[in-house]
């Protein structure tokens, strides 16, 4: 490599990689992520395209990942041999000497002992298991493939395979869900002792079946109940020793997600796969949101990028405020210098507090996080 290339690549050294696997065995009626029904005749070609995309990126950037995150969709919808091919391909192509965390998202319906053991062997350190609820009736409402017994079994299978860092994804504010049902889902989760818990309030996303059903009045959202669910989540999980390090994310000490923290700190990241975003310096781009055209493009040597934008310092500053405000570290007071009046009002209202030169949301402030962030944008 010439010294010019050295200089170029070191200025684009990327430490965080996201890989999007869009296949799902069943499509959930509330989900707005880019995904498609699993078609086994397409998955090998797709895996080849992902590795070819990685080859192309290795030619442009110096990739020394500290974190890799395989999300979806459902990465575990791939077969064990496809995962071996894919993750083995990452191992061959990348210098993993700085890798601190390698996460894969898994659905309880597609975790087997064999698959879990292989993922562990290939270097995955963290599994994010999409449980959503321990209530079988609510799982049916959500259109999930699994029941609560299968989810519990999958959790144990992952532990037996040697995973010491497991996240459980949960959702609250579900149609017909009672506060008691949510309380018992939290208690059941705590009893399993996962290392990390993500608890999201259900959002009715445009272009989903739930959104249409809500618009027709069939599904009702009650913001007061959602606030009660959220308040209960914070109390119960904190009492059980989980730290709320971001509005929807709780971890045992030392188990916060390094990958997600990098996003929230505004670090650069590379996205591989259909629909994946990348942000490098002042450039952001998104790959095409269709796995067939993604594979066609990549395998014929073309770029999978579908859109790109140049970020401005102002856009970066706004993102930093919006994301860091949601974290327990809060936002640096110097970022909010031009908002003295808003800042003082929020402090007087008990929504913000000062801590080590940063402004941090109070518990009451967390319930109104989006409105507080909006005032600073
Ligand atoms: C990228 S998704 C996919 C993970 C995995 N396929 C699954 O569904 O279990 C990650 C998480 O986002 C959450 N999620 C998805 N759609 C949501 C919605 N409309 N509102 C709130 N949370 C949502 C779920 O908890 C889900 O586990
Ligand atoms: S919620 Fe998960 S399993 Fe359901 S459609 Fe979305 S990505 Fe697939």
Task: Give the residue, out of 25, 33, 70, 138, with the most ligand 2 atoms within 8 A of its beta carbon, to mutate for a pocket test.
Answer: 33
The two tokens of residue 171 are 């959702």
- Centroid of ligand 2 to alpha carbon of 31 (angstroms): 6
State the Cα–Cα distance between residues 235 and 228, nearest whole angstrom. Answer: 11
Confidence of residue 299 (pLDDT cuts 50, 70, 90): very high
pTM of the model: 0.96
pLDDT for 306 equals 98
- Centroid of ligand 2 to alpha carbon of 36 (angstroms): 9
pLDDT per residue as tens digits for the range 158-209: 999 999 999 999 999 999 999 999 999 999 999 999 999 999 999 999 999 9
Cα–Cα distance list, 31 to 13, 160, 193 (Å): 33, 30, 27
pLDDT per residue as tens digits for the range 100-121: 999 999 999 999 999 999 999 9
Question: Which residues have CB under 8 Å from 111's CB, separation 6+?
Answer: 76, 129, 154, 157, 158
DSSP labels, 308-369? EEE--HHHHHHHHHHHHHTBTT-EEGGGGGGGHHHHHHHHHTTSEEEETTEEEE-HHHHHTH
- Centroid of ligand 1 to alpha carbon of 334 (angstroms): 34
Confidence of residue 11 (pLDDT cuts 50, 70, 90): low
Dihedrals φ, ψ of 337, to 5°?
-55, -40
pLDDT per residue as tens digits for the range 125-138: 999 999 999 999 99
Q: Is 284's pLDDT higher than 70?
A: yes
Q: Which atom of ligand 2 is nearest to the CA of 27?
A: 5
pLDDT for 5 equals 44
Q: Is 203 helix (H, G, I), strand (E, B) or coil?
A: coil
pLDDT for 7 equals 45
Task: Give the residue, out of 31, 78, 133, with the most ligand 2 atoms within 8 A of its beta carbon, to mutate for a pocket test.
Answer: 31
Q: What is the dihedral of CA 204, 208, 214, 215, to 10 degrees?
A: 110
The two tokens of residue 375 are 């005032």
Q: Is the dihedral of CA 66, 71, 74, 78 positive or negative?
A: negative
Does residue 25 have its Cβ closer than 6 Å to ligand 1? no
Nearest to 142 by CA among 111, 113, 107: 107
pLDDT per residue as tens digits for the range 40-65: 999 999 999 999 999 999 999 999 99
pLDDT for 145 equals 92
On the CB side of 95, how many CA atoms lie within 13 Å of its CA? 10
State the Cα–Cα distance between residues 186 and 134, nearest whole angstrom. Answer: 9
Q: Is 18 helix (H, G, I), strand (E, B) or coil?
A: strand
pLDDT for 2 equals 41
């Amino acid at each position: 490599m010439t010294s010019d290339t050295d200089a170029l690549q070191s200025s684009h050294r990327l430490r965080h990689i996201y890989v999007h696997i869009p296949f799902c065995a069943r499509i959930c009626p509330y989900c707005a992520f880019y995904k498609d029904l699993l078609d086994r005749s397409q998955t090998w070609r797709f895996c080849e395209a992902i590795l070819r995309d990685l080859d192309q990126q290795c030619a442009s950037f110096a990739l020394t990942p500290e974190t890799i995150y395989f999300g979806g969709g459902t990465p575990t919808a791939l077969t064990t041999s496809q995962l071996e091919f894919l993750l083995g391909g990452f191992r061959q192509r990348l210098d993993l000497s700085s890798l601190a965390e390698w996460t894969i998202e898994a659905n309880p319906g597609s975790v087997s002992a064999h698959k879990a053991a292989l993922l562990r062997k290939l270097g995955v350190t963290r599994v994010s298991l999409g449980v959503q609820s321990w209530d079988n009736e609510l799982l049916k409402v959500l259109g999930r493939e699994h029941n609560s017994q299968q989810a519990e079994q999958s959790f144990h299978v992952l532990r037996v395979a040697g995973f010491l860092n497991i996240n459980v994804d949960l959702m609250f504010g579900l149609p017909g869900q009672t506060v008691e049902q949510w309380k018992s889902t939290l208690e059941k989760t705590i009893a399993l002792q996962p290392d990390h818990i993500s608890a999201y309030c259900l959002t009715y996303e445009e272009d989903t079946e739930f959104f249409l059903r809500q618009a027709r009045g069939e599904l009702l959202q009650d913001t007061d109940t959602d606030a009660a669910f959220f308040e209960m989540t914070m109390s119960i999980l904190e009492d059980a020793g989980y730290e709320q390090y971001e509005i929807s994310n709780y971890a045992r000490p030392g188990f916060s997600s390094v990958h997600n923290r990098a996003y929230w700190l505004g670090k650069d990241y590379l996205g591989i796969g259909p629909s994946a975003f990348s942000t490098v310096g002042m450039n952001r781009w998104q790959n095409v949101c269709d796995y067939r055209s993604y594979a066609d493009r990549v395998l014929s040597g073309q770029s999978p990028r579908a859109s790109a934008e140049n970020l401005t310092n102002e856009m970066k500053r706004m993102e930093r405020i919006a994301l860091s405000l949601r974290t327990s570290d809060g936002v640096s007071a110097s970022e909010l210098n031009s908002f003295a009046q808003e800042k003082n009002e929020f402090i007087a209202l008990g929504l913000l507090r000062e801590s080590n030169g940063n402004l941090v949301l109070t518990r009451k402030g967390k319930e109104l996080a989006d409105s507080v962030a909006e005032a600073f944008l």
